[in-house]
Amino acid sequence: METIFGISLDTYLIALATMAVVIVLIMAVITARQPLLVKLGARNFTRRKSQTVLIIIGLMLSTLIVSSALVTGDTVGQSITNRIYQSLGTIDVIVDPDQEQAAGVEFIDESDSESLRQALAQDQRVDGFSAILQIDIPAANQGERLSDPRAYLVGLDVDTQTGLEEMLEASGGGLARLSSLASNEVFISERLEKSLDLQVGEMVTLFVENTPYEFRVAEIVKDNGLTSKDQAGPGSKPGGGVIMPLSRALNLSNNEGPNIIVISVEGGNRNDLDMVGAVSEMTASKIETLGIPLEVVEDKKELAAIGSLVGSVFVAFFIIFGLFSIAAGLMLIFLTFVMLAAERRSEMGMARAVGMKRLHLTEMYIAEGMLYNVGSAMVGAALGVLVAWLMITLLGFIFASFGTQITLNVNPRALALAYLIGVVLTFVTVAISSWRAANLNIVRAIRDIPEPDLLAKTSGGLMELIRSTLSVIWGVFWLIPATGLVIALVIGTIWSLARISGDFGGEIATAASITVSIGLVLLLIVYVRKLAAYLYNRLKIFRLLFYPFVGMNNWSKAHRSSIGWAMWMLIFGVAGIYVGGWGENIGAPSWVGPQLWSYTGGTTLVMFAIGVIAVYFGAPARISFSTIGLLTVWLWLLPLPFSVIPWLPDEANGWVDPIDGILGLAGWGHGGITGDIEMFFVSGVAVTAASIFVVIYNSTVLLAPFNLARGALGGLMPAVRTAIAYPLANRFRTAMTLSMFTLVVFALVVMSILNHNFSAVFNGEEAQGGYDVAVIGNPANRIQDIDSALMTSPFMDQNLLQDGIAETASLRTATGYLEGSSGNSVATKDGFYKVQGMDSSFIETNSLKLVTRARGYANDSEVFSALATGTNFAIVDESRLQSGGGQWGPGPGDGVFEIEETLQGLDASNDEMGWDPIVFTLSDPFSGLETDIQIIGIISNTATTVRVEWSALFVGESLVDENFFGGYQDNFYVISTEGTDSIDLARGIESALLESGVQASSIAQEVEESASQSNAFSALFEGFTALGLIVGIAALGVIAFRTVAERRQQIGMLRAIGYRSRLIGVSFFLESTFISVTGILLGLGLGYGISYNLLTSEEFTEAGLETGFDVPWTRILIFIGLAFVTSSIMTLIPARSASRVPVAEALRYNG
Amino acid sequence: MTSEDRAAIIDVHNITKTYDTGSVSVQALRGVSVQVAKGEMVAVMGPSGCGKTTLLNCLSGIDDVSGGQIVIEGTDINEMSDDVKTIYRAQRMGFIFQFYNLLPVLSALENVELPLLVSGASPKDSREQAMKSLERVGLTDWATHKPAELSGGQRQRVTIARALVNDPAIVWADEPTGDLDSKTASDIMDLMQELNREQSQTFVIVTHDSSVAQRCDRTIHMNDGLIEREEVHAN
């Protein structure tokens, strides 16, 4: 794995290492200049051990998540790459017949092959070249009555050069032995040896055109890309190979020539990929020069990159799912410092009063934070490996079914990266929270007077609003040139260093130079500032010159307030809405517009800004923020399943986007907006923030039932009173902790519900298409009629035949070329595609679901009736449509035909009655026979997940018979009778038709296997997200511990006036429980709402995901229950210690 | 009226209290014996560290003694379990602290009703009683305000209201005027004297302020963990 989100890991590493060195330098300067402050900050690290442990647990989570994601990604990438290397062996470039040029010809002309061989012969880098034949052919061990329908006939050119020889070596021999094989001898690969239980010297039977041919096994060779099949469909294992010289294989199979050329580049298995890439390009260019109908289809460099790509995709997924936990972790860091600052507020006020600067306090907190930081990042990176190991164990089961073994691969670079990310992220958060902590009012701090509520600042009038808005922009404006100046200085210093040294000599030297440059620039800034201050105070001319700036700065500081920020939130929010919704009009970059994240994010910003502005102009804070919070949640949860605004037009109740709805009434609505997986995080953050505003500002109302139930609470009432009062009084702290819980529970609930419902759709009955057993025919031994084949087979269990089979149906497969008509109302792209000819039974018995139908077809059965009666109708699977927002499944590939429209677009392209049938000319590339067809329905991809051969153009069987000469393969589908085991039936059919080499499988079993794989993935991602709950739990623990310390004196007073020790413990416990329960309920409610809307949204239902809406309550309740119990245990410890505080000692306590 | 004229509500015999910090052992009370009559207002004075607050803590049952006997209303509190002592405090005692020790997150009214709630009174009765108590100290209009919104004097009045809300037999006050200016301190003393007279509640006040002590019935002077002398005032 080399990249994440498209950026090289080395780039991340260098950038982070540079930042880490800068952090170390900052710490070194602080330690050297202010050792006492460092000592003061560090004392708490060892003084309160249990809290230190909790803080470290909370802080390490970001590192743990990144570390486990990277290690898992590395492991998966490495395992896939290994598999690719193992499979390809020394094969580096693969050449196939060019489908477009050869018009469907599947064989390579001997002269073409020879021309290419000659063209490459002079290239010293090429050390192997072989034209080979690889086709499916059934094999059997007649003696043992064992068969393998997945066997693979391999015909090898014995002139193959040395570079490919090692791929044939097993117990010795190789190519030399292959060329000297007797006419009745073959090599077999290890996989076939196992499946047929064959030994050297025994006989293997091959079935070609239903005729058995016997061969003696002369040698057993290793499985690899040359000797056996490497990939198989879902639910099947790849087959083993039967290897013989090419000429003999061609005679046996009646094929005209080889169907593949493999080329080896010097250097063996793991050779220089750049050289492979160069040879690949050179081969392609030679093919072009020679003008032969061949094409380079794959090379080792590209395939090896796939492993890396898959690894990167895993990392990206895990990091996106881990974002909730990372966000919660950062909030915990912030909260921890807010609490530390609150506890030491008066101490800090006094320190400031006696001359300590704000910077000193910040430095003190940074010193303390860095101690936690260094420890937690180290623990996090190490534990990340443990978590990765657990995930890989689970992934191992999934990958094993695809034939890939994965083993833990811990790359030191991944660990270093995770550690550095942890250190840098934590440092930034610590620095911000330290600055906030140090930013206190001395008098308020000393007298312990609460700071004013920033969000509740009342009106200073319109002028003050304008002044504040301007002052904020001055602050921001000041930052821009300042940042620019720093960057320019850094670049200038680096350039100077480069000039002095001549060359940096590698990435480490570059990083070191950048670090030195940043250090020098920071020093320069410090001294320039000092000098400027000195000159400003001493020299009138300086004062005169800079007075406007200094004056403006002072003015800006005096007027900067929440209302100014709110105004800018409003401005940026409106800009976000416009760019996100109408970005196309102004040519906005595609990452910002039209994009849902900027549209919905902008809307949310505007909402909050309106709240602050309303309060500024005198609206009660509670009403304003509650209304705004509710409106924001409402916006995100639209459409609601009930009418909420009866006075708006009827369509309003169906609005998902009221802004667009209202503007749309005037014809100003926006076009389509795209959104991706990032919306999961954006929606989570937005609804969590909005709902927490509502809860915090209405907690008294929400808690009214407790007050009403005072009588019922009896002796617990005093505990409830204090338990409720504290979280309500500490709004910021409560909101932060609530956010952590809510965010993570929200993510878990959404993921569980979506996974559960998607799994139900893609792995439910619909995926079976109405059949129980699939019988895939062998092109080399075609069966035209499965019923008679089974009836005449002496090996068919007659009971099974009579009582087990209810219906059979068949599909006849061909490859066709589709050319769209110019009269179509939607654009199409011409190309090849698989054609399935349905017999009348298939048309009648299948239960394939259509996601949309052309005009005139009211339901699926009308479409199938048309297919049964007319020869020019067709339906096609959904993958031929373009993917759009909300549509899932693979998109159209290259070189194949496609409909250049999304499902939503197709539906919207015409009136409500349906779209115009899409007209194509379908031709057979071999015969050139053509016919016009109309596509009248689109098959849901829920049915093509398991049976991949259903990703095709479905027409009537007669069309395939007439225009494609019956196609090249027959597939059969069996509906079993009630009570018949589909696995037994599949086994019986495969055994009966052994000589034909059919592959029969239970579709129900395949669906089940697919479901278990998908469930395992779900469990993996949910488990990973659930790691975030640890942050929430640790946060509750930190708060509870700190609270006990903070309220020691109050505990003493409560005990003095009659609170029994148990009551104190209960009060603390209830207080934490209030937060965890509220967070859990909020996350549950919001997650439920968002999931409901997603799954019942038009985009999803139109895409065929009519899932209904089912909630996996057991799974959700288990993790919620676990979270609650664990957090309760976590808070019981400090609650117990609170109850044991000695009264007199507590009363004397002064912090 | 002197203590001799009335029955003793507090009867203390030779109590000692030693703080053991592991490395250092400090004898805070070295054999104190004292009686306080019902309805009496007694001041305890002495230099810092002489054991005044320790004596108050021990007498009120919020700290244990190392030796000796404390009989309150005829019951030896050393023989009470922690829970029983706590309930007794809730029902029969009131506390006033120098730094008010109000819960910052509760309103004045809610602070005052806490002792009633822990005593098992119904919420409705608690609220009514608390309002009456606040009325007695002249803070009805400030009932819904939180401590941070009150002045020092007002906070101390809330503390007094809280101390008296359960109609206690004894009110313990540790430096009740220590954090107040002289005018406010005088007002607070007026209030305590008035309540003492009206309700006949026993007040034990630890103070540094001789003017506070002068307004009590009797002053106990302590030094080095012992009662040095007693002084009766003719108020």
Nearest to A324 by CA among A1015, A1027, A1082: A1027
Are residues A195 and A259 located together in one domain of the fold? yes
CA dihedral sign, ordered A979, A984, A990, A994? negative
Q: Which of B94, B110, B115 sits opposite A721 (nearest CB)?
A: B110
Are residues A83 and A99 located together in one domain of the fold? no
Distance linking the first and last C-alpha atoms of chain B: 9
Which residue would you say has higher pLDDT here, B165 or A1093?
B165
How would residue A3 be classed by pLDDT, with cut points 50, 70 and 90?
low
- Domain end call among A268, A289, A317: A268
3-state helix, strand, coil in chain A (%, to 5): 60, 15, 25
The answer to whether position A298 is within a domain reads: no
pLDDT at residue number A1108: 65
pLDDT at residue number A955: 92
Are residues A80 and A131 located together in one domain of the fold? no
Q: In which element (H, E) is residue A873 found? A: strand A873-877
> In a mutagenesis test of the B interface, which of A1053, A1064, A1071, A1140 is the best target, namely the one with the most B β-carbons within 10 Å?
A1053
Are residues A832 and A713 located together in one domain of the fold? no
Are residues A865 and A975 located together in one domain of the fold? yes
From chain A residues 437-466, the ones with a CB under 8 A of any chain B CB are 449-450
How would residue A1105 be classed by pLDDT, with cut points 50, 70 and 90?
low
| Contacts with A718 from chain B: Cβ below 8 Å | 114, 117-118
- The amino acid occupying position A456 is A
DSSP A171: S
Average pLDDT of the segment spanning A659-666: 78
Helix, strand or coil, per DSSP, at residue B37:
strand
> In a mutagenesis test of the A interface, which of B117, B149, B155, B171 is the best target, namely the one with the most A β-carbons within 10 Å?
B117
Measured between CA atoms, how close is A458 to chain B, in angstroms? 18
Q: Is 80 exceeded by the pLDDT of residue A460?
A: no
How would residue A908 be classed by pLDDT, with cut points 50, 70 and 90?
low
Q: Determine contact: A490 vs chain B, CB below 8 A.
A: no
pLDDT at residue number A884: 45
pLDDT at residue number B12: 92
What ipTM was assigned to the predicted interfaces of this complex? 0.85
Q: What is the pLDDT of residues A331-341, one digit of tens each?
A: 877 887 777 77
Task: Tell me the C-alpha distance between A425 and A326, whole Å.
Answer: 10
DSSP A781: B
- The amino acid occupying position B105 is V
Task: Tell me the C-alpha distance between A832 and A821, whole Å.
Answer: 15
Are residues A262 and A309 located together in one domain of the fold? no
Task: Tell me the C-alpha distance between A856 and A364, whole Å.
Answer: 76
pLDDT at residue number A811: 92
Is the bond preceding A594 in cis, omega lying within 30 degrees of 0? Answer: yes
Contact A1056 B60 (CB under 8 A): yes
The answer to whether position A379 is within a domain reads: yes
Measure Cα distances from A1127 to A642, A1024, A1029, A1074, A1133 in Å: 36, 18, 9, 11, 10
From chain B residues 73-92, the ones with a CB under 8 A of any chain A CB are 82-83, 86-87, 89-91
Q: Determine contact: B182 vs chain A, CB below 8 A.
A: no
Contact B115 A1057 (CB under 8 A): yes
Q: Determine contact: A1142 vs chain B, CB below 8 A.
A: yes
Task: Tell me the C-alpha distance between A616 and A586, whole Å.
Answer: 34
Q: Is 50 exceeded by the pLDDT of residue A21?
A: yes
Residues paired with residue A269 on neighbouring β-strands, in sequence order = none
Task: Tell me the C-alpha distance between A478 and A475, whole Å.
Answer: 5
Nearest to A442 by CA among A339, A355, A559: A355
Task: Tell me the C-alpha distance between A648 and A147, whole Å.
Answer: 70
Q: In which element (H, E) is residue A334 found? A: helix A300-343
Instruction: Name the range with the highest mean pLDDT among A53-67, A249-263, B37-51.
Output: B37-51
What residue in B sits closest to A1147 (Cα-Cα)?
A: B101
Which residue would you say has higher pLDDT here, A864 or A462?
A864
Per-chain mean pLDDT for chain A: 79
Q: Are A1125 and A1031 in contact (CB under 8 A)?
A: no
Lowest-confidence region among A171-180, A1012-1021, B173-182: A171-180
Are residues A940 and A958 located together in one domain of the fold? yes
**Burial label, A1151 (beta-carbon count in 10 A; 0-12, 13-18, 19+):** exposed
| Contacts with B117 from chain A: Cβ below 8 Å | 717-718, 721
Task: Tell me the C-alpha distance between A1042 and A16, whole Å.
Answer: 33
Q: Determine contact: B62 vs chain A, CB below 8 A.
A: yes
| Contacts with B162 from chain A: Cβ below 8 Å | 1057
**Residue A504, both tokens:** 């940096």
pLDDT at residue number A606: 93
Q: How far is CA A827 from the centre of its chain?
A: 31
pTM of the complete model: 0.75
The answer to whether position A624 is within a domain reads: no
| Contacts with B150 from chain A: Cβ below 8 Å | none
Measured between CA atoms, how close is B29 to chain A, in angstroms? 15
pLDDT at residue number B44: 93
Q: Which of A449, A1050, A1057 sits opposite B90 (nearest CB)?
A: A1057
Task: Tell me the C-alpha distance between A472 and A670, whole Å.
Answer: 31
3-state helix, strand, coil in chain B (%, to 5): 40, 30, 30
Contact A1147 B110 (CB under 8 A): no
| Contacts with A1060 from chain B: Cβ below 8 Å | 82-83, 86-87, 118
Helix, strand or coil, per DSSP, at residue B235:
coil
| Contacts with A1061 from chain B: Cβ below 8 Å | 82-83, 86
Q: Are A1107 and A764 in contact (CB under 8 A)?
A: no
Q: What is the pLDDT of residues A495-512, one digit of tens each?
A: 666 666 555 555 566 666
Distance linking the first and last C-alpha atoms of chain A: 51
The answer to whether position A28 is within a domain reads: yes
Q: In which element (H, E) is residue A95 found? A: strand A91-97
Q: Determine contact: A722 vs chain B, CB below 8 A.
A: yes
pLDDT at residue number A756: 83
Q: Is 70 exceeded by the pLDDT of residue A629?
A: yes
Q: Which of B62, B104, B114 sits opposite A718 (nearest CB)?
A: B114
Measured between CA atoms, how close is A615 to chain B, in angstroms? 21
> In a mutagenesis test of the A interface, which of B17, B105, B204 is the best target, namely the one with the most A β-carbons within 10 Å?
B105
What residue in A sits closest to B165 (Cα-Cα)?
A: A1057
Q: Match 């109590």 to its residue by tokens.
A: B15
Percent of chain A with pLDDT over 90: 7
Q: What is the pLDDT of residues A838-890, one digit of tens each?
A: 999 999 999 888 888 888 888 888 999 998 887 789 999 888 887 643 333 33
Task: Tell me the C-alpha distance between A1107 and A1094, whole Å.
Answer: 11
pLDDT at residue number A233: 45
Per-chain mean pLDDT for chain B: 86
pLDDT at residue number A1101: 61
- Domain end call among A976, A992, A1008: A992
Average pLDDT of the segment spanning A54-76: 79
Task: Tell me the C-alpha distance between B95 and A1056, whole Å.
Answer: 7
Average pLDDT of the segment spanning B91-114: 85
pLDDT at residue number A1035: 75
Are residues A922 and A836 located together in one domain of the fold? yes
What residue in B sits closest to A444 (Cα-Cα)?
A: B148
Contact B123 A1057 (CB under 8 A): no
Q: Is 60 exceeded by the pLDDT of residue A1104?
A: no
Q: Which of B60, B62, B106 sits opposite A725 (nearest CB)?
A: B106
> In a mutagenesis test of the A interface, which of B18, B118, B149, B158 is the best target, namely the one with the most A β-carbons within 10 Å?
B118
Contact B123 A722 (CB under 8 A): no
Q: Determine contact: A161 vs chain B, CB below 8 A.
A: no
> In a mutagenesis test of the A interface, which of B19, B54, B62 is the best target, namely the one with the most A β-carbons within 10 Å?
B62
- Domain end call among A957, A992, A1027: A992
Q: Is 80 exceeded by the pLDDT of residue A238?
A: no
Measured between CA atoms, how close is B134 to chain A, in angstroms? 17
Which residue would you say has higher pLDDT here, A720 or A704?
A720
Average pLDDT of the segment spanning A351-361: 79
Nearest to A322 by CA among A80, A55, A70, A1: A70
Q: Are A442 and A349 in contact (CB under 8 A)?
A: yes
How would residue B182 be classed by pLDDT, with cut points 50, 70 and 90?
confident
Lowest-confidence region among A84-93, A103-112, A215-224, A948-957: A103-112
> In a mutagenesis test of the B interface, which of A726, A730, A1057 is the best target, namely the one with the most B β-carbons within 10 Å?
A1057
How would residue A1151 be classed by pLDDT, with cut points 50, 70 and 90?
very low
Contact A1056 B120 (CB under 8 A): no
Average pLDDT of the segment spanning B187-202: 84
Measure Cα distances from B118 to A70, A1057, A1061, B85, B96 in Å: 55, 8, 12, 13, 17
| Contacts with A729 from chain B: Cβ below 8 Å | 104-105
pLDDT at residue number A654: 61
Contact A1053 B89 (CB under 8 A): no
What residue in B sits closest to A1150 (Cα-Cα)?
A: B99
Are residues A812 and A943 located together in one domain of the fold? yes
Q: Determine contact: B142 vs chain A, CB below 8 A.
A: no
Q: Determine contact: B106 vs chain A, CB below 8 A.
A: yes
Instruction: Name the range with the highest mean pLDDT among A194-198, A370-374, A584-588, A906-910.
Output: A194-198
Q: Determine contact: A705 vs chain B, CB below 8 A.
A: no
How would residue A204 be classed by pLDDT, with cut points 50, 70 and 90?
very high
The answer to whether position A621 is within a domain reads: no
Contact A1061 B86 (CB under 8 A): yes
Are residues A108 and A68 located together in one domain of the fold? no
Nearest to A599 by CA among A538, A683, A665, A535: A683
The answer to whether position A767 is within a domain reads: no
Q: Determine contact: A39 vs chain B, CB below 8 A.
A: no
Strand order in the sheet with A898-902: A828-829, A898-902, A881-882
Q: Determine contact: A1130 vs chain B, CB below 8 A.
A: no
Are residues A941 and A958 located together in one domain of the fold? yes
Q: Is 90 exceeded by the pLDDT of residue A660?
A: no
Residue A985: count of CB within 10 angstroms of its CB: 23
Nearest to A767 by CA among A975, A950, A943, A1006: A943
Task: Tell me the C-alpha distance between A562 and A567, whole Å.
Answer: 9
Q: What is the pLDDT of residues A409-453, one digit of tens each?
A: 787 887 888 888 888 888 888 888 888 777 777 777 776 666 666
Q: Are A936 and A968 in contact (CB under 8 A)?
A: no
Residues 6+ away with beta carbon under 8 Å from B179: B98, B99, B100, B152, B156
Angle between helices B123-136 and B152-164 (to 10 degrees): 130
The answer to whether position A999 is within a domain reads: no
Please state whether beta strands A881-882 and A898-902 pair in parallel, antiparallel, or not at all (unpaired): parallel
Task: Tell me the C-alpha distance between B90 and B113, whole Å.
Answer: 11
Are residues A35 and A114 located together in one domain of the fold? no
- The amino acid occupying position A738 is L
Lowest-confidence region among A413-427, A712-726, A1080-1094: A712-726
Q: Are A1036 and A737 in contact (CB under 8 A)?
A: yes
Task: Tell me the C-alpha distance between A321 and A527, whole Å.
Answer: 45
Rounded to 5°, angle at Cα A153 from A152 and A159:
130
Q: Determine contact: B60 vs chain A, CB below 8 A.
A: yes
**Residue A57, both tokens:** 């647990």
Contact A1058 B91 (CB under 8 A): yes
Q: Is 70 exceeded by the pLDDT of residue A707?
A: no
**Residue A842, both tokens:** 């298939």
Strand order in the sheet with B93-97: B93-97, B170-174, B202-206, B41-45, B218-223, B226-232
Q: How many domains does chain A have?
A: 4
Q: Which of A714, A1050, A1055 sits opposite B103 (nearest CB)?
A: A1050
Average pLDDT of the segment spanning A765-780: 84
The answer to whether position A977 is within a domain reads: yes
pLDDT at residue number A838: 92
Contact B101 A1147 (CB under 8 A): yes
What residue in A sits closest to B115 (Cα-Cα)?
A: A1057
How would residue A895 be classed by pLDDT, with cut points 50, 70 and 90?
low
Q: Which domain holds residue A443?
A: 1-88+304-452
Rounded to 5°, angle at Cα A980 from A976 and A983:
85
